[in-house]
C-alpha cells in the first residue's frame, strides 16, 4: 500500500496539466469519487490494524496534494482565459455565416390572412386601447347591470386612476373598438378589429386568460341578416377551403338581435370526433348577429335609418383548425421546436 501511495504521489507531482480537458482528466483519475485515491481509501480496511493509522495519514496527505494541484491549475487556466481577447483565435478570412431566417408566429399568420380576406370585400382595420372603462366594454354594448360578464370571475378589473370613479378593466372583447368607431365615424362603417383580450379563466388545452380576437362591423342603410350570412360563408370558404360545411345556431348576445353562433365541420378529425370539437364533429368559430338598436342609439346612430351586423371570433381556434394544432397553450410557450414549423409559411 505504501509503495502504491509513493508511486501515485510521483505521478501527481509530474502530471502536466495545460488544458481544461487535461484538468478534467486529472480530476477523474485522482480527485474524483471513483478515482485512484478513492480506491486506496476503500482498500484501507485490508491494512493491518497496527499500520492503519499511519497509512491513513499518508492517504490524506496524498489526497490533499492532488486537490491542491487541481485547484491551483484550475485557477491558472481561468486567469489565462480571462486575459485572452474576446476574438482570440478567430480567423477573419473565413466566409461569413449566413443569418438564420426567423419565423412568423402562427397567430400572426392567421390574423394577416383574415385581414386580407375581409379587405377584398371592403373591410378596413381599426384598433383601440386594451385598458378600457365599464361604459365602452359593457354599458354601450347593452350589457345589463347584473350581467355575469361584469363579475370578477370573468373580468380583470383595475383600480381607478387619477381619482376616476369609473371602473377600469382589461378589455374582455374587441367590441370596445366597435363602440369607439361608431362614436367617431358616421355610417357607412365596414371594419374589422383584431386585438388581444383578457378574461379571468383557467388555462387549459382549449382556453387561456390571454387570447386574441378579430371582430367585424358593418353599418349602413338596409343591411340585412342575409348580408351577414353571405359574408361569413364567403370567409369560411376562403379561409378553411371550399369543401367546408357551415351551420348557424340561434344564440343570445346582449349587443345583437337576432344572434347566432356559427360552426364549421372539424378539420382536425374530419367530423369523426376529437377533443377539439368535443367529439361532435363541429367546431364553433364565431358569434354574430344584427347590431341591437340600443347599441346604435347609445353610440349616436339612428336605428330607424341604419342597421348593421357584427361578428367576432378568437384567433386561436381558427389557427388550431388550419394548422392542426391540438393544444392552445403552445401559442404562448415560445417553444422553438413548435415555432420552427412555420418557417416556410409566408
Annotated binding site: 257
C-alpha cell at 23: 484538468
Taking the C-alpha atoms of residue 318 and residue 315, their distance in angstroms, rounded to an integer, is: 6
Beta bridge partners of 214: 194, 313
Angle between helices 316-323 and 106-119 (to 10 degrees): 100
Helix (H, G, I), strand (E, B), or coil: what is residue 256? strand
Q: Parallel, antiparallel, or unpaired for β 157-158 and 131-133?
A: unpaired
For residue 285, count other CB atoms closer than 10 A to its CB.
23
pLDDT band at 125 (very low <50, low <70, confident <90, very high): very high
- Weakest mean pLDDT among 7-21, 152-166, 274-288, 327-341: 152-166
Q: Which CATH number fits domain 106-342: 3.40.50.620, 3.20.20.480, 3.30.930.10, 3.30.160.20?
A: 3.30.930.10
Predicted pLDDT of residue 118: 96
Q: Which residues contact 72 (CB under 8 A, 6 or more apart)?
A: none
pLDDT tens digits for range 281-301: 888 889 999 999 999 999 999
**Mean pLDDT in residue range 265-273:** 78
Judge whether residue 206 has pLDDT over 70. no
Taking the C-alpha atoms of residue 154 and residue 198, their distance in angstroms, rounded to an integer, is: 9
Judge whether residue 188 has pLDDT over 70. yes
pLDDT band at 237 (very low <50, low <70, confident <90, very high): very high
DSSP label of 123: -
Q: Using a pLDDT cut of 90, give the percent of the chain over it.
A: 33
Predicted pLDDT of residue 86: 65
What is the number of alpha carbons within 13 Å of residue 133 lying toward its C-beta? Answer: 10
Better-scored residue on pLDDT, 153 or 268: 268
Question: Are 129 and 146 contacting, i.e. CB atoms less than 8 angstroms apart?
Answer: no
- CA 85 to chain CA centroid, Å, is 39
Beta bridge partners of 249: 261
**Mean pLDDT in residue range 166-172:** 83
Q: Which residues contact 189 (CB under 8 A, 6 or more apart)?
A: 181, 182, 217, 218, 219, 220, 308
Predicted pLDDT of residue 165: 57
- Weakest mean pLDDT among 139-143, 145-149, 225-229, 279-283: 145-149
Taking the C-alpha atoms of residue 98 and residue 215, their distance in angstroms, rounded to an integer, is: 41
Angle between helices 225-240 and 316-323 (to 10 degrees): 40
Is residue 56 within a helix (H) or strand (E), and if so which, with residue range?
A: helix 49-83
Q: Parallel, antiparallel, or unpaired for β 210-220 and 168-170?
A: unpaired
Q: Which residues contact 240 (CB under 8 A, 6 or more apart)?
A: 264, 267, 318, 321, 322
Domain ranges of the chain: 2-83, 106-342
Annotated binding site for Mg(2+): 257
Amino acid at each position: 500500500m505504501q509503495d502504491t501511495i509513493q508511486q501515485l504521489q510521483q505521478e501527481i507531482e509530474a502530471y502536466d496539466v495545460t488544458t481544461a480537458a487535461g484538468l478534467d482528466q486529472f480530476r477523474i483519475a485522482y480527485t474524483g469519487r471513483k478515482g485512484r485515491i478513492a480506491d486506496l481509501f476503500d482498500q484501507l480496511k485490508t491494512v493491518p490494524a497496527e499500520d492503519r493509522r499511519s497509512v491513513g495519514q499518508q492517504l490524506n496527505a496524498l489526497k490533499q496534494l492532488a486537490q491542491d494541484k487541481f485547484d491551483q491549475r484550475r485557477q491558472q487556466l481561468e486567469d489565462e482565459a480571462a486575459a485572452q481577447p474576446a476574438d482570440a483565435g478567430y480567423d477573419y478570412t473565413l466566409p461569413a455565416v449566413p443569418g438564420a431566417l426567423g419565423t412568423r408566429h402562427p397567430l400572426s399568420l392567421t390574423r394577416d390572412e383574415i385581414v386580407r380576406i375581409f379587405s377584398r370585400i371592403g373591410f378596413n382595420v381599426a384598433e383601440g386601447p386594451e385598458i378600457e372603462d365599464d361604459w365602452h366594454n359593457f354599458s354601450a354594448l347593452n350589457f345589463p347591470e347584473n350581467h355575469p360578464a361584469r363579475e370578477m370571475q370573468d373580468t380583470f378589473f383595475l383600480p381607478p386612476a387619477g381619482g376616476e370613479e369609473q371602473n377600469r378593466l382589461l378589455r374582455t372583447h374587441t367590441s370596445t373598438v366597435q363602440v369607439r368607431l361608431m362614436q367617431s365615424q358616421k355610417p357607412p362603417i365596414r371594419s374589422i378589429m383584431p386585438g388581444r383580450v383578457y378574461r379571468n379563466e383557467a388555462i387549459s388545452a382549449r382556453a387561456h386568460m390571454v387570447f386574441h380576437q378579430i371582430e367585424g362591423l358593418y353599418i349602413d342603410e338596409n343591411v340585412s341578416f342575409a348580408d351577414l350570412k353571405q359574408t361569413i360563408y364567403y370567409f369560411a370558404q376562403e379561409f378553411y377551403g371550399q369543401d367546408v360545411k357551415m351551420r348557424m345556431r340561434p344564440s343570445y348576445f346582449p349587443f345583437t338581435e337576432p344572434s347566432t353562433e356559427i360552426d364549421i365541420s372539424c378539420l382536425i378529425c374530419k367530423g369523426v370526433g376529437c377533443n377539439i370539437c368535443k367529439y361532435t364533429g363541429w367546431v364553433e368559430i364565431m358569434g354574430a348577429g344584427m347590431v341591437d338598436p340600443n347599441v346604435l342609439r347609445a353610440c349616436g346612430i339612428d336605428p330607424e335609418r341604419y342597421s348593421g351586423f357584427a361578428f367576432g371570433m378568437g384567433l386561436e381556434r381558427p389557427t388550431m383548425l388550419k394548422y392542426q394544432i391540438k393544444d392552445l397553450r403552445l401559442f404562448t410557450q415560445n417553444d422553438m421546436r413548435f415555432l420552427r414549423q412555420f418557417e416556410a409559411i409566408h
